[in-house]
Amino acid sequence: MPHHPLKKLIRDVPNFPKEGILFRDISPLLADGEGWRKAVDEMAERVAKYKPDMLAGIDARGFLVAAPVAYKLGIGFAMVRKKGKLPWKTVEHTYELEYGSDTLQLNADAFAQGQRVVICDDLLATGGTAGAAVELVRKTGGNPVALACLIELAGLGGAAKLGIPSESLLVY
């Protein structure tokens, strides 16, 4: 894969959040006005080809991607939140993690029946969280047509597990 110029704005943090993990920190990208604008513009271009009616941003850094891309495309977005964070009627999906499980929620009225939805997040690794978001979109009647991420850790095979196309700006 060719070296994307925005990769220089991703900070590698070894052994975070635990020993043996190399964390890809997007903070320097967010802090660079020109770099962030390029990232959002490129994400919007990639997302637009799926003709979404709405976006879904995954808690919490996925909101950082979904909000400006939705603005640029002139569409809305819904928040996929960790359990207990949404104040209205929700649907939920529990999924397995390496150790234990987690639950995500979405407002029950987030999407109209059949609405085309692109799910946005900062990073795609094993695909567990993204897969849960795909199921949530379906449970609310939406049609998940793609996943769009800033970063993909390709060696972990997350994209292959989703059953929908995925777009990643930076692949490691």
Catalytic residue numbers?
A: 61, 98
- Residue 87 is encoded by which pair of tokens? 């104040």
Closest to 129 measured CA to CA, from 107, 155, 101, 110: 101
**What single-letter amino acid sits at 159?**
A
Q: Could you tell me how far CA 94 lies from the centroid of its own chain?
A: 17
**In this structure, are residues 38 and 6 in contact, taking their beta carbons and an 8 Å threshold?**
yes
Residue 66 main-chain phi, psi, to 5 deg? -65, -45
Nearest to 72 by CA among 52, 96, 90, 93: 52
In the chain, at which residue ranges do the beta strands (DSSP E only) sit? 11-14, 22-25, 54-58, 76-82, 90-96, 101-107, 116-124, 143-152, 166-171
